[in-house]
Structure 1
Amino acid sequence: MNVRLQHLILLLVVLFIMPWYEFTDGFFNFSWLSLGYFVAEESAPLYFQMVGHEKVWLYLVSGPYVLLALANAFTRKLRSDYEANIHLGLAALGLLALMMQGMLINDFGPVFLALNAFLPIDAYQIGMGYGALLLSVIYIYYVASAFAHKGMMKGDLFSTYALFLIVFLVSVFVIFPVLNILSRAFLDSDTGYSITVFSERIFNSNIWGLGCIGIGSGYCGVATATAFLAVMTGLSTTTLGLCFALVITRTDFKWRGRLKALSLLPIITPPFVVGMALIMLLGRSGIVTKFIESTFGIELGGWIYGFWGLWIAQTLAYTPIAFMVLIGVVQGVGPSYEEASTTLNATPLRTFRFVTLPLIRPGLANAFLLGFVESMADLGNALLIGGDFPVLSAQIFYAVAGASSSTGKAAALVVSLLVFTITAFLIQRYWVGRKTYATVTGKGDGGSNQSLPKWVKNVSVSVALFWSVFTVSIYVLILMSGFVETWGSDYSLTFKHYITAFDFNIVNSHLIATGVAWDSLITTLWLALLAMPLTTAMGLATGYLLTRQNFAFKSAFEFSTMLSFAIPGIVIGFSYVVAFNQAPIDLTYTGIIIVVCFMFRNMPVGVRSSIAALKQLDPGLDEASFTLGASNLRSIRTVILPLIKPAVFSALVYSFIRSITSVSAVIFLVSADYNLASAYIIGLVENNQFGVPIAYSTTLIAIMGIAIFGLNQLVGKRTLFKPLTNGAS
């Protein structure tokens, strides 16, 4: 289609077709398409809002766009920096007007009484809808096109537009709600905002105490204890992930495929189930505990409730993340480097230590960072198995949802958590440094990766086998407990839990779902499938920009994309409720707010995976594609994406799985119309019902296992070098 015609069509769509405001029946409801929808105030497009419903302030929003659309429809491309500056000014003015009118006029009318002098009587507006969203995206496009013409990112419009769009979305859906909540750390109900109040909340021994290591008196503060747990979890998950990656990619171990499947099992499990299985296995009345007591007379007590239980549960839950990051990085190590080391008479151990490990450093750093951050933000395990061990996420939850709710205290704890997250982020960047780790250059490489040192192989296989056996034990317990009457007292075989959850009847040749779990299951799968491609695309695009483009404030941009991952999900969910419950963005208790939460909560894993993978690809591959006349978008699609398939697979799997198993991030966002499986399960557990939750959880595990298999077939495998055939020992 002619580009000029596209501008005219979009202009007509924005002005006369798309409803400007949010439709009351939900973002995904399209009943407004009925005849005459443009007449109703709640569904009328932009033009009819201005003319028919006296929303005169919208002229300031639409005016710059009309000029830009007509200019692009009837003139040629930008020919000078002067024209680019005019386009930039109009687009920036329109975008600013769009944001300001939304902030200044809400459901209750103008925010400032002085505005009544310039507005019609009873002026008000509800949350923005399809039309406002589309116009925002178009304005960002015009801003990006102006900057691209002025030479930003070497004139590449695709990369420039992707950057501005991601910055806009992250600003709206991450930075704004987070800052809104963090500002509460300075807020006192009596005195207003105060530095003194903030200091009293943040600088106290309950948070930063070091008494447990002999510095000062008392116990360790909650921040200190949480940081120690996070470091231990980061180290253990990275070590286990590396062992699995080495066994699967660099040995001839005959059970490699099974180990790969087992390594991913914990990620497809609802959070509370792992903790519950550990209790059934190692708790006071657990199978192993009772066996040791009866056989050896040793009473283990409740050791599992506290640090050790949390560490084991988090290691079990987050090792798959480290594995998914590392397997692609280990696969990407070029054989020629290891062969060169061997040619110079280096031993296998020396080659592994000084060649292989340094080349996978970005993967190790990213895997540790993800494990560290996940541990800091973990809520489900902390509530179930944390015992008396203090962690920030649980304290934040109690501060928000406890009997003595204190948003200010919760915000102060969030600040403490961010201190550690930022520190870990900076250490990770320093350790990786500015060195190049590219081993995929586009040149032919017919060699084979060198065999692992014997002791490295033996240790990796032993660790992977031990952890796999432990994982299998956990999942056997989970599976068995769904088929017994009551675990711990009545082990009679029964199917009633599955029947209660997923029963159905056939009435008049129609299949009627009567099980209690169907509604939440269908809603969960629908929203997870919708969020998955959006999350993956944004994560991979962000990783591409961070590794292939240079622009101002790059480090700040990178950290902002990790921000939603660094903060406990309970805070993200609560911040969304506070920030998006009225105009201009009124999304509370809708499906779209859950999808948005999934996107920005899970996006960082795609970012880190793609960064680790792209750092191994020589930028010369991109340049060769450009030299042959390919556009940036085509180069990404035909050259880069096939070479980072493990990162694509990791992003797709993680997004889908975590959307289904997420608890803390969505606990405040679910509603009667959009109830999710995880929230439904937690609700049953809180009422001391365990049969149906476990039956539901095992069903989710099966569904997610099928999804992983399907995604693996869809993405396929990449072939970089000749597969290992000989020499593995």
Structure 2
Amino acid sequence: MGALTLGRLALAAGLLGLLLAPWHGLEGGVDALSAWPGGDAAPLLALLLDGSRWWLWPVVGLLGLATIPIVAGRSSGGLVASTGLALLAFVLVQGQAIGLRGLRWEWLAPLLGAPPAQQALGWGGALVLAAAIGLISAGLAQRGRFGGDAFIAFLVVGSGALLLLFVFVPLIVILSAAAVEDGHVAPGALAARLAAPEAWSLACVTSHQGCGVVWNTLLLAILAAVSSTLIGLAFALLSARGGVRAQPAFRAMTMLPLITPPFVVSLALIVLFGRTGLVTTALWEWFDIPRSRWIYGLPGVLLAQALSQAPIAFVLLEGAVRAIGPSLEEAASTMGARRFTVFRTVTWPLLRPAVAACLLLGFVESLADFGNPLVLGGDFDVLSTRIFFAIAGARHEPGRAAALAILLLALTFGAFALQTLWLGRRRYTTVTGKGDSGAPAPLPRGLRIACGSVAWPWMAFTAAVYGIILIGGFVHDIGRGDMAFTWRHILTGFAVEWQDGMAFRGSAWDSLFTTIEVAAISAPITAGLGILLAWLLARQSFPGRGTLEFLTMLSFAIPGTVVGVSYIMAFNEPPIELTGTALILILCFVFRNLPVGVRGGIAALAQIDKSLDEASATMGAGALQTLRRVVLPLLRPAIVAALAYSFVHAMTAVSAVIFLVSARHNLATVYIVGRVEAGEMALAIAYSTVLIVVMLAVVLGIERLVGRAQIGRRAAPAGNLVA
């Protein structure tokens, strides 16, 4: 794509936003379009001509200034880029300066007087902003930046602008909100909130009172990370080196948590171990063990998180174990080392990066977990739930929520730093270009027994938990032991009537349809943008590449609770007002799940020789043509994997979106949380079963479409499995 072509497309988008599209957001929804070209649906030109938005005339002037060199076909890249930058800055700054109550920056009063209030930007404003980004990209390409390729320039500038707007800006907003009190900046308020006793109290050490939420969160995260990693390691060693034949069962155990809403495990634990749970009642009736509420608090939340996170650790660690070159272990055995010595001195050191990754993932997932602490936490508060109640509780305290979010974010970044320090600068490369056809060393007998003593009871426990989830919605009251079959709970949520056509009468249909719609829209955007960013980062060299990669990965390090609160604060007023819309849910999912698509794309591109790109360029193909005809067909598995992950995660997420849903746009997981809070446990479990079935169909369909990648390495002979 040439720079002039991109410039003309940008001008077309700008003219469309100026002449036809509604400049402001439609308060009345799509019905407001009936008033076009007046009312809420008025385009910018109509607003300028009637004098109600007189201060926006510079938009017309800047578009006209950019039109001259582009239409004339002259090489004026500096002018075009500068004009686009000025247009972008002007639209955003004026929207920030003049809001719903008129002028917000009093120091502009002598210059602007008292302009009327204005709503947030609509599709017209969005098109003009897109035109500005296109002009900046075309101008930079004309000046020879990005190799003179306008397509690459537009990808870099456009993706950078989106990441700044929907990742970096919300983070800055929530960080700054912690220092605001009564509408004014108050550094003392920030210090007081960060050092508040509710966060740092150690009363649990000296009395029977609870500790601060920071210590609770830190303790839970450490225990969850260590326990899930150890359980996952036991399964991984048994699967890869233990000679077990239960691979289908292992496979099922890894898939179920991926397609289960994160807090549904808590519901099953309550059914089993609650005060009137099945196990609790049985122990009371058979052994006269008193009923208790031990499941509510740290033990219950830890158990739920371990159940959810251990399968993910297993997937990561199994791949790492299978990737270890057998030649290194064989060399150690040849030198006379016993099996346990080989494991301790060769296998275990090579597993350190994977173990560190699992510990980090478990720690971060525990920090971000909202559903399990909400359902099972009881008096054991953590940062995620305390942030939620600071926003949605009786006392609306956004400053306090922002300060708690800063503490949560600090714990997350601290975990990343500790992982880097632990791994250091050592190299852990075992897969090279040389052939490696040796047989993996079997586990030492004692280690195999230890792993089995952990894995098999845990698998039985996992099966019991998911059995409760699958049957709980089809019996009268599983929590009280009434196991009579019934469709009542399913019909309450998903009743269908046939009066003058099909009518969805169940209370859960709206949230299910909205969830599927939002997931189906966000997943392709996430996968597409992720693959494009991966291609940029892996195949292109340009100024600011490191910054773009940092912004891309930043959202992975931000807990979902923090993301939700930051989106509320950043997009609740002009110039960009999104709260209460489906668009904010879609954007949240896109940028929350983007890092997984990017890392998957980079990993897939690492297996594709760059000579293919170079051959395409030698034949005269541009970057766009090379990407479309050479790279994308080879990235099909990575694209489908990103689609599957994005869709499933959008269907099951709760920590971020619970702050962003509205009565009109409710999601399945938030609906289930509401049913739990209302005591409708059976309906919540029934809905969870429906979600699991939907997710299972999607994952199996994608796996059938793409297949599974396997590492071709021969297994150890059965006769060598005995120590």
TM-score (norm 2): 0.84
| Per-residue Cα deviation, 1:66-107 (whole angstroms, up to 9, x for no partner) | 54466456537x6xxxx5544442332222122212212333
Contact 1:543/1:607, CA 8 A, preserved across alignment: yes
CA shift digits 1:359-385 (9 cap, x unpaired)? 665544443323212211222211221
1:227-306 to structure 2, matched below 5 A, reads 227-245=218-236, 253-299=244-290, 301-306=292-297
Q: Answer yes or no: is the 8 Å Cα contact 1:282–1:304 preserved in 2.
A: yes
Offset of 1:58 from its aligned partner?
3.7
Residue 398, structure 1, aligned to residue 400, structure 2 = no
Report the counterpart of residue 628 of structure 1 in structure 2: 615
Summarize the Cα distance change of 1:463–1:98 in structure 2 as closer, same or farther, 3 Å threshold. farther
The letter of the residue matching 1:624 is: S
CA distance in 2, matches of 1:184, 1:143: 31
1:175 aligns with 2:171: no
Task: Assess, with a 3 A threshold, how the Cα gap between structure 1 residues 638 and 473 changes in structure 2: closer, same or farther.
Answer: farther
Show the 5 A alignment for 1:511-526: 511-526=502-517
Q: What is residue 722 of structure 1 aligned with on the other side?
A: 712
What code does the residue aligned with 2:504 have? A
Compute the displacement of 1:573 (Å).
2.9
CA shift at 1:571, angstroms? 4.4
Deviations 1:573-599 (CA, angstroms, capped at 9, x unpaired): 343333323321121211101111222
Larger deviation, residues 198-207 vs 490-499 = 198-207
2:191 matched residue in structure 1: 199
Distance 1:277 1:687 in 2: 16
| Per-residue deviation, residues 200-238 of structure 1 (Å, max 9, x unmatched) | 222244422446568x99753221221121122222333
What is the aligned partner in structure 2 of residue 188 from structure 1?
Answer: 181
Measure the CA separation in 1 of the matches of 2:624 and 2:139.
Answer: 19
Q: Distance in 2 between matches of 1:491 and 1:634?
A: 61
Partner of 1:494: 486
Instruction: Please give the alpha-carbon distance, in whole angstroms, between the structure 2 residues aligned to 1:570 and 1:143.
Output: 35
Change (3 A) 1:41 1:461: farther
Where does 1:272-351 land on structure 2 (aligned, <5 Å)? 272-299=263-290, 301-323=292-314, 325=316
* Aligned residue in 2 for 1:506: 498
Question: Per-residue CA shift, 1:297-345, capped at 9, x if unaligned?
Answer: 4447322222111111112223344455556666666777777877888
Deviation, structure 1 residue 54: 5.7
Measure, in 2, the Cα distance between the counterparts of 1:674 and 1:26: 15
SS at match of 1:375: helix
User: What is aligned with 1:706?
Assistant: 697
What is the DSSP-based 3-state SS (H/G/I as helix, E as strand, rest coil) of the residue aligned with 2:40?
A: coil
Distance verdict in 2 for CA 1:294–1:568, change over 3 Å: same
Match of 1:425 among 416, 421, 424: 416
In structure 1, what is the Cα distance between the partners aligned to 2:147 and 2:409? 35
Report the secondary structure of 1:42's partner residue: helix
Q: Residues 8, 554 of structure 1: CA spacing in aligned structure 2 closer, same or farther, 3 A cutoff?
A: closer
Change (3 A) 1:568 1:722: closer
Name the count of aligned residue pairs: 711
Matched residue of 2:616: which SS?
coil
Aligned CA distance change for structure 1 residues 114 and 421 (closer, same or farther; 3 Å): closer
Aligned to 2:688: 697
- Does the CA-based 8 Å contact 2:13-2:130 persist in structure 1? no
Q: Which letter maps to 1:8?
A: R
Which residue pairs with 1:21 in the alignment?
23
Distance (whole Å) between structure 1 residues aligned to residue 349 and residue 144 of structure 2:
36
Counterpart of 1:111 (choices 76, 87, 104) is: 104
Aligned pair in 2 of structure 1 residues 284, 625: CA closer, same or farther (>3 Å)?
A: same
Question: What is the SS of the residue equivalent to 2:292?
Answer: coil
SS state at 1:492 partner: strand
Q: How far apart are the structure 1 equivalents of 2:594 and 2:692?
A: 22
Distance in 2 separating the partners of 1:142 and 1:362: 44
Cα separation, partners in 2 of 1:162 and 1:675, compared to 1, 3 Å = same
Map 1:299-698 → 2, pairs under 5 A: 299=290, 301-323=292-314, 325=316, 362-433=353-424, 445=435, 447=437, 450-455=440-445, 463-489=454-480, 490-508=482-500, 510-539=501-530, 560-561=551-552, 564-606=555-597, 613=603, 617=606, 621-629=608-616, 651-698=642-689
Match of 1:8 in 2: 8
Partner of 1:95: 88
- The whole-number CA distance in structure 2 between the counterparts of 1:160 and 1:357 is 45
2: CA distance, partners of 1:13 / 1:546: 28
Alignment of 1:109-188 (within 5 A): 109-112=102-105, 123-144=116-137, 161-188=154-181
Does the 8 Å CA contact 2:10/2:135 hold for their aligned counterparts?
no
After superposition, the Cα gap between the structure-2 partners of 1:405 and 1:48, relative to the gap in structure 1 and judged at 3 Å, is closer
The amino acid that maps onto 1:724 is R
Distance 1:248 1:71 in 2: 65
Deviation at 1:193, TM superposition (A): 2.4
Partner SS state of residue 658, structure 2: coil
Q: Distance in 1 between matches of 2:443 and 2:154?
A: 47
User: What letter matches 2:572 in structure 1?
Assistant: N
The CA distance in 1 between the partners of 2:247 and 2:627, in whole Å, is 31
1:699 Cα shift?
A: 0.7
- Distance in 1 (alpha carbons) for counterparts of 2:304 and 2:630: 39
- Tell me: CA distance 1:307–1:265, structure 2 relative to 1, closer, same or farther (3 Å): same
Aligned mates of 1:548, 1:583 — CA distance in 2: 38
The amino acid across from 2:279 in the alignment is V
- Taking structure 1 as reference, are residues 95 and 351 closer, same or farther at Cα in structure 2, changes over 3 Å only? farther
**CA-CA distance at 1:474 after TM superposition:** 0.7
Normalising by structure 1, we get a TM-score of 0.83
**1:417-450 C-alpha deviation (Å, 9 max, x unpaired):** 1221111122223344556666677x58574673
Shift of 1:727: 3.8
Q: Is the 8 A contact 2:16 2:127 kept in 1?
A: no
Deviation per CA, 1:264-302, whole angstroms, max 9, x where unpaired?
212322333211211111223322233344444444732
Consecutive unaligned residues of structure 2, counting only runs of 5 or more, are none
Which stretch of the first structure deviates more once superposed, 252-261 or 117-126? 117-126
**SS, match of residue 485 in structure 1:** strand
Question: Aligned in 2, Cα 1:13/1:287: closer, same or farther, shift over 3 Å?
Answer: same
Is contact 1:643-1:718 (8 Å) kept?
no
Residues 296 and 609 of structure 1: CA distance in aligned 2, closer, same or farther (over 3 Å)? farther
CA distance in 1, matches of 2:360, 2:601: 14
Q: Matches of 1:722 and 1:232 in 2, distance apart?
A: 36
1:378-432: CA deviation from partner (whole Å, max 9, x where unpaired): 2221122112223111222222222333222222222221221111122223344
Residue 483 of structure 1: how far off its partner (Å): 1.8
Q: Cα gap change, 1:338/1:128 in structure 2, threshold over 3 Å: closer, same or farther?
A: farther
SS of residue paired to 1:520: helix
C-alpha deviation, 1:688, in angstroms: 1.9
1:127 Cα deviation after fit: 2.1
The percentage of counterpart residues that share the same residue type is 38
Deviations 1:483-522 (A, max 9, x none): 22223433332111112221212234x3222222211111
Q: Distance in 2 between matches of 1:5 and 1:639?
A: 23
Cα distance in 2 for partners of 1:330, 1:152 equals 44
Deviation, 1:523, is 1.0
Structure 2 CA distance for partners of 1:6 and 1:165, relative to 1, 3 Å: closer
State whether structure 2 residue 58 is matched by structure 1 residue 60.
Answer: yes
AA in 2 matched with 1:60: P
Runs of 5+ consecutive residues of structure 1 not aligned to the other structure: none
Q: Look up the equivalent residue of 1:722 and give its one-letter code.
A: G
- Classify 1:13/1:416 alpha carbon distance in 2 versus 1 (closer, same or farther; 3 Å): closer
Structure 1 window deviating more from structure 2 (647-656 vs 200-209): it is 647-656
- Cα distance in 2 for partners of 1:724, 1:709 equals 27
Larger CA deviation: 141-150 vs 636-645: 636-645
